Amino acid sequence: MKEIRERLDEIAEERTQFHLNEVVPQSGAEVGEERQTGSIITQSHVYGRDEDKEIIVENLVNPVACCDDIFVYPIVGIGGLGKTTLAQMVYNDERVGMHFELRIWVCISEDFSVKKIIKAIIGSATGTACEDLELDPLQRRLQDILNRKRYLLVLDDVWSEDEEKWDRLKCVLACGSTGASIIVTTRSRKVASIMGTFPMHHLSGLSEDECLLLFKERAFGQEKEERPNLVAIGKEIVKKCRGVPLAVKSLGSLMRYKSQSNF
Ligand SMILES: Nc1ncnc2c1ncn2[C@@H]1O[C@H](COP(=O)(O)OP(=O)(O)OP(=O)(O)O)[C@@H](O)[C@H]1O
Ligand SMILES: [Mg+2]
């Protein structure tokens, strides 16, 4: 026991030498900055998503059937496949801008707190941070904003499979006019089936050709000359990315670094 205690003391001592601090994540904390998203497209060129965009925009601006229930359109796919990017393309489409009186973007991530989401929606709709009020005044304020409006709300990156919480939020959102719509992006089919009132949009991977274009953009940047040996390696790498743009981008960037050194 004595030996173990001494060893633990040594480890604790090393921890202070390396300046490692214990951090306990607070529940209900803000979405980590690196996971936060906004409505502005960050990708300079988006490959191979025109058809997906058309389908969603068409469904939003010319809904086939007018249902009384709020229109919730889920976009589903694995991490890094481009769900957020597709939602951004739809959000910024001119026809969508003309069709909806109000567009709101909220990044949800892992913490699905109804109060926090209502505050975020009010903040995004008004362009100013919402005060920390009790739930009831927040609900009323949100309903004043959405009341009888044809709004588009994007709930990006939803993880919660808690149906009860979604029902509580949905009741508050149900005050818009006919055609008010919500786009949900999620990795989870269960989330999509809980929230969706419309068949989910399964996002597929990019084709190898599209991946290669993205890879070259990252690996060679503005360079006019592509080195054939690097392109050949790129083609092999891209095959392993299975159409996931995040993987293609990351590996393309690594290649750029390598090609600038001694690849
Ligand atoms: N079609 C595309 N063409 C080029 N780049 C893309 C495309 N789709 C996504 N990207 C890029 O790939 C990365 C991941 O995309 P995005 O964040 O949209 O994925 P996601 O499916 O929302 O991931 P997550 O499940 O983690 O939220 C981003 O850097 C984005 O700019
Ligand atoms: Mg996303």
What's the CATH number where 51 sits?
Answer: 3.40.50.300
> How much is the pLDDT for 26?
52
| 12 — pLDDT class (breaks 50, 70, 90) | confident
> How much is the pLDDT for 66?
60
Position 263 pLDDT exceeds 50: no
214 lines ligand 1 (CB under 6 A): yes
Whole-angstrom distance, CA of residue 191 vs CA of residue 75: 10
Q: Which atom of ligand 1 is nearest to the CA of 244?
A: 12
212 lines ligand 1 (CB under 6 A): no
Q: Which of 202, 223, 252 represents a domain boundary (last residue)?
A: 202
Are both 116 and 229 inside the same structural domain?
Answer: no
Are both 222 and 194 inside the same structural domain?
Answer: no
Query: Of 24-28, 142-146, 171-175, 182-186, which gets the smallest average pLDDT?
Result: 24-28
Residues 6+ apart with CB under 8 A from 130: 119, 120, 122, 123, 138, 141
Q: What percent of the chain has pLDDT over 90?
A: 65
- Report for 36-50, 67-81, 154-168: range of highest mean pLDDT: 154-168
Q: Which residue has its alpha carbon closest to ligand 1 atom 15?
A: 82
Task: Note the residue count of the chain.
Answer: 263
Whole-angstrom distance, CA of residue 73 vs CA of residue 182: 6
Q: Is 72 helix (H, G, I), strand (E, B) or coil?
A: strand
For 110-119, the CB contacts below 8 A with 24+ separation are: 110/31, 110/159, 110/160, 111/27, 111/28, 111/29, 111/31, 112/158, 112/159, 112/160, 112/162, 112/165, 112/166, 113/28, 114/165, 114/168, 114/169, 116/28, 117/155, 117/169, 118/142, 118/169, 118/172
168 is a domain residue: yes
Q: Distance, CA 229 to ligand 2 centroid (Å)?
A: 33
Residue 37 and residue 86 in contact, taking contact as beta carbons nearer than 8 Å: no
Q: Which residue has its alpha carbon closest to ligand 1 atom 18?
A: 82
Are both 183 and 69 inside the same structural domain?
Answer: yes
Q: Distance, CA 253 to ligand 1 centroid (Å)?
A: 15
Q: Which of 177, 202, 227 represents a domain boundary (last residue)?
A: 202
224 is a domain residue: yes
20 is a domain residue: no
Are both 53 and 182 inside the same structural domain?
Answer: yes
Pocket test residue of 246, 249, 250 for ligand 1, highest count of atoms within 8 A of CB:
246
Are both 157 and 256 inside the same structural domain?
Answer: no
Are both 67 and 147 inside the same structural domain?
Answer: yes
186 lines ligand 1 (CB under 6 A): no
Are both 90 and 156 inside the same structural domain?
Answer: yes
Are both 126 and 216 inside the same structural domain?
Answer: no
15 is a domain residue: no
217 is a domain residue: yes
- Beta partners for residue 72, in sequence order: 182
Residue 150 and residue 179 in contact, taking contact as beta carbons nearer than 8 Å: yes
Are both 148 and 250 inside the same structural domain?
Answer: no
Q: What are phi and psi of 75, to 5 degrees?
A: -110, 120
Q: Which of 170, 202, 234 represents a domain boundary (last residue)?
A: 202
- Average pLDDT of the segment spanning 83-88: 98
83 lines ligand 1 (CB under 6 A): yes
216 is a domain residue: yes
Whole-angstrom distance, CA of residue 235 vs CA of residue 212: 6
> How much is the pLDDT for 228?
81
Q: Which residue has its alpha carbon closest to ligand 1 atom 4?
A: 46
Structural domain of 250: 208-260
> How much is the pLDDT for 19?
72
- Average pLDDT of the segment spanning 46-56: 97
218 is a domain residue: yes
Position 259 pLDDT exceeds 80: no
| 196 — pLDDT class (breaks 50, 70, 90) | very high
- Average pLDDT of the segment spanning 16-42: 73
Are both 131 and 241 inside the same structural domain?
Answer: no
Q: Distance, CA 234 to ligand 1 centroid (Å)?
A: 19
Position 67 pLDDT exceeds 70: no
Are both 164 and 187 inside the same structural domain?
Answer: yes
> How much is the pLDDT for 34?
75
Q: Give the residue with greater pLDDT, 29 vs 24.
A: 24
36 lines ligand 1 (CB under 6 A): no
Position 30 pLDDT exceeds 80: no
Q: Give the residue with greater pLDDT, 200 vs 228.
A: 200
Domain count along the chain: 2
Q: Which atom of ligand 1 is nearest to the CA of 186?
A: 25
28 is a domain residue: no
88 lines ligand 1 (CB under 6 A): no
Are both 216 and 190 inside the same structural domain?
Answer: no
77 lines ligand 1 (CB under 6 A): yes
